[in-house]
């Protein structure tokens, strides 16, 4: 049984859509679902897709985290082995060359929230709820929660959310700066696809290098960041798409980027 639905949308089939589809468990990821997500991302990383959208088939839950029913009774060795798989899944999202958009409605909790945090952009419905409740269960986030959340909302807010484990509404998340867009449940996917289309129409090499540059240069000492920024810049200069972009501007037409 597969717990993922995979499709493409957009006029040029350049947007890959991964739909989490385990509604009976609020999309809690077990070993099988984590494996499917990892293998799908590995395939997409080598494809011609320019943008990825991760969504849910269940409006009540984006993802409720790791499946604790499956984990119940695991030995310490089995737990650690499974968590290694989960780590690979999280890192595959963050390390994907293409930008990734999380379209969130319902609950995004624990590892489900960490899936979101490993994405590049977050579009959320007003009915979405975020939370990292691990501390209330005798553990802590292990997929980027303590590492990635402070980059989005600030250290003091991240500490509160992580250490209390409390639920955070979409409105509060928006005020804290977590989200790129806040919308209604009915318009959630439209908003996510609109953002995806904006990204997909740009030169893919440029977009991917912009993503890598922001991720790599954030927090780096400025003197070193200046040098590294030019490395990414030069990756874009030596491309056919750069020539096409200039020519399209001169000819007053929309550019046709080929990713070369």
Domain-wise residue ranges, the chain: 4-200, 204-250
Predicted local confidence at residue 227, as pLDDT: 95
Where would I find the H helices in the chain? 31-45, 68-71, 76-95, 111-117, 145-153, 155-164, 170-176, 188-200, 204-217, 222-237, 240-250
pTM comes to 0.93
pLDDT over 70 for what percent of the chain? 95
How far is CA 243 from each of CA 14, 28, 226, rounded to the nearest angstrom?
21, 46, 24
CA–CA gap between residue 212 and residue 216 (Å, rounded): 6
Nearest partner of 62 among 106, 116, 2, judged by Cα: 106
| Residue 24: other Cβ atoms inside 10 A | 7
Read off the pLDDT of residues 148-196 as tens digits, 9 standing for 90 and up.
Answer: 999 999 999 999 999 999 999 999 999 999 999 999 999 999 999 999 9
Read off the pLDDT of residues 197-252 as tens digits, 9 standing for 90 and up.
Answer: 999 999 999 999 999 999 999 999 999 999 999 999 999 999 999 999 999 999 99
| Main-chain dihedrals φ then ψ at residue 71, nearest 5 degrees | -75, -20
Does domain 4-200 bear CATH number 3.90.226.10? Answer: yes
Active site residues: 66, 111, 114, 134
From 7-11, 49-53, 128-132, the region with the lowest mean pLDDT: 7-11
Is pLDDT larger for residue 7 or for residue 44?
44
In sequence order, the β-bridge partners of residue 183 are 125
- DSSP character at residue 177: T
Asked whether 208 and 98 are in contact (CB, 8 A), the reply is: yes
Predicted local confidence at residue 3, as pLDDT: 60
Cα torsion 163, 169, 175, 180 to 10°: value is 100
87: helix, strand or coil:
helix
């Amino acid at each position: 049984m597969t717990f993922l639905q995979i499709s493409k949308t957009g006029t040029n089939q350049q947007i890959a859509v991964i739909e989490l589809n385990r509604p009976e468990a609020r999309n809690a990821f077990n070993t099988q679902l984590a494996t499917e997500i990892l293998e799908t991302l590995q395939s997409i990383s080598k494809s011609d897709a320019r943008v990825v959208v991760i969504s849910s088939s269940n409006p009540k839950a984006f993802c409720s985290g790791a499946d604790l029913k499956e984990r119940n009774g695991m030995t310490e060795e089995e737990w650690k082995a499974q968590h290694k798989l989960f780590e690979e899944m999280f890192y595959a999202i963050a390390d994907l060359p293409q930008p990734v958009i999380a379209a969130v409605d319902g609950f995004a909790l624990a590892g489900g929230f960490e899936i979101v945090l490993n994405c590049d952009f977050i579009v959320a419905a007003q009915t979405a709820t975020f939370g990292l409740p691990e501390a209330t269960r005798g553990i802590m986030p292990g997929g980027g929660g303590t590492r990635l959340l402070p980059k989005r909302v600030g250290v003091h807010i991240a500490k509160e959310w992580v250490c209390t484990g409390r639920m955070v509404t979409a409105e509060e998340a928006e005020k804290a700066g977590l989200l790129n867009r806040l919308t209604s449940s009915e318009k959630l996917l439209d908003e996510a696809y609109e953002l995806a289309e904006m990204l997909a129409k740009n030169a893919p090499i440029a977009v991917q290098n912009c993503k890598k540059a922001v991720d790599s240069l954030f927090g780096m000492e400025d003197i070193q960041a200046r040098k590294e920024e030019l490395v990414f810049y030069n990756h874009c200069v030596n491309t056919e798409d750069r020539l096409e972009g200039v020519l399209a501007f001169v000819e007053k037409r929309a550019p046709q980027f080929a990713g070369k």
